[in-house]
């Protein structure tokens, strides 16, 4: 019988309870009747008894037990043993070492203590995590952007050789997404940094996130859920410790937090599908407008038509931060598709596809507008093999004519093309034309999406929005 992955089990319980509450077991000495291991154990046992039917998971913090030496270790084992088998146990231990040392830590966590998951420090790289994640039934939460004030000292540093602006914590999120082959790798992102949480969710759309910091540390629940929920309304655990353990009635406190989570999930746009409300939509839509990539006025198009809107995405090449955001937005779509290589169309899509390639490690090729008249006389630049599957990347979709020209060159080289991805679909017939030939068009935005957003947020006068809507209908 195939082993069920850790996050499959966690997700089942989250759906069953309609909650995302993770009860933290942090027996602070100030909360104990006496400063002993047995008092720490007894406090946690009372919390488990009061909340075990409300907790999606329990998260005992190893440090508060280790402080009592051997007696503390026994108390920790007793606490984990008292948690029902149906409730996942995440040991907050922040382990991180290599080789045989990592193997020993993994045995300690999963065999001796019998926890189901553990928090890990990724600083030593993937091989330090391997002993913990080799069994899909055992989960790991990799420290990504932690909740403490000093986290930025290291985690916010920019990686200068990454090809596009990216911080250390963003790189960890990308790596964790790749490491999640067995559905047992998640990440830790502090609730105290909702903007970082939003950014990480874009980079790692599928991962479960453990988001400590709600309550005592200042994290605000609705902001955390808005930034961190997956498109399906799951993928986020909210650990709460002191707000429950120090309450006069811990069970009542847990019930109130659970109800607040349920209400926030119902109210939050992040609960909708990614097509309806992508988490990157607001930032990118505003960025394109401010950068002049979307302009309103009166413009003469290449066709000679007069247009009330002009899209100039070639400007992105001079705006590395916005270009990186564009690359991330494409990646959300691309991660759902099957392909071996990106195929970018010259010229506006080349920097976009380069950003996508650098962020995800996907190889890139591009069909030339004209074959080289010297050297190899290549029509397609880059390394590829006949029979490989490519996804076409372009900036805009209008009628689809330029896409067909490129697809024919790719197919003539023996490559397979099924999907085309663009930043903006102008809604001028490209989707229909491509579909008629057996190709799927995917767009980060339709022109109507952008107009709806700009109108709702009063970014553009209504008369200009109406003029563009009329132009779309008539084109």
**Residues annotated catalytic, as ranges:** 94
What are the angstrom distances between the C-alpha of 115 and each of 45, 88, 233, 321, 353?
A: 16, 8, 26, 41, 42
Does the N-terminal peptide bond of residue 347 adopt cis geometry, omega within 30 degrees of 0? yes
């Amino acid at each position: 019988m195939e082993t069920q992955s850790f996050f499959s089990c966690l997700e089942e319980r989250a759906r069953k309870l309609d909650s995302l509450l993770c009860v933290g077991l942090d027996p602070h000495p100030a909360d104990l009747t006496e400063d002993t291991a047995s008092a720490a154990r007894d406090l946690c046992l009372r919390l488990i008894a009061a909340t075990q039917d409300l907790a999606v998971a329990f998260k005992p913090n190893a440090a508060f037990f280790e402080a009592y030496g051997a007696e503390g270790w026994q108390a920790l084992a007793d606490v984990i043993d008292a948690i029902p088998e149906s409730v996942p146990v995440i040991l907050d231990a922040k382990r991180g070492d290599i080789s045989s040392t990592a193997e020993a830590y993994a045995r300690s966590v999963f065999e001796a203590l019998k926890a189901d998951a553990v928090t890990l420090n990724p600083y030593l790289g993937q091989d330090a995590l391997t002993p913990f994640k080799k069994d899909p039934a055992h989960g790991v939460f990799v420290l990504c952007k932690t909740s403490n004030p000093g986290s930025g000292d290291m985690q916010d540093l920019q990686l200068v050789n990454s090809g596009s602006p990216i911080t250390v914590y963003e790189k960890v999120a990308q790596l964790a997404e790749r490491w999640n082959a067995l559905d047992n790798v998640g990440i830790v992102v502090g609730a105290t940094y909702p903007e970082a949480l939003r950014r990480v969710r874009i980079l790692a759309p599928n991962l479960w996130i453990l988001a400590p910091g709600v309550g005592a540390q200042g994290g605000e629940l609705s902001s955390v859920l808005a930034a961190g929920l997956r498109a399906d309304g799951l993928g986020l655990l909210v650990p709460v410790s002191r707000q429950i353990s120090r309450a006069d009635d811990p069970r009542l406190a847990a019930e109130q937090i659970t109800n607040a989570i349920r209400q926030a999930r119902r109210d939050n746009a992040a609960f909708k599908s990614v097509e309806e409300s992508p988490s990157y939509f607001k930032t990118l839509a505003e960025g394109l407008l401010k950068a002049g990539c979307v302009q309103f006025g009166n413009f003469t198009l290449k066709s000679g038509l007069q247009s009330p809107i002009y899209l100039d995405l070639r400007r992105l090449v001079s705006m590395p931060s916005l270009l990186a955001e564009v690359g991330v937005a494409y990646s959300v779509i691309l991660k759902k598709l099957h392909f071996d290589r990106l195929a970018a169309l010259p010229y506006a899509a080349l920097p976009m596809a380069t950003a996508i390639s650098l962020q995800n490690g996907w190889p890139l090729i591009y069909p030339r507008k004209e074959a080289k008249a010297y050297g190899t006389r290549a029509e397609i630049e880059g390394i590829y093999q006949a029979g490989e599957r490519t996804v076409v990347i372009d900036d805009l979709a209008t009628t689809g004519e330029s896409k067909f020209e490129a697809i024919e060159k790719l197919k003539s080289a023996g490559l397979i093309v099924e999907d085309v991805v663009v930043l903006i679909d102008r809604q001028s017939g490209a989707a229909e034309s491509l579909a008629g030939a057996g190709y799927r068009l995917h767009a980060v935005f339709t022109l109507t999406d952008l107009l709806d957003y700009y109108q709702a947020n009063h970014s553009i006068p209504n008369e200009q929005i109406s003029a563009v809507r009329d132009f779309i209908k008539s084109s």
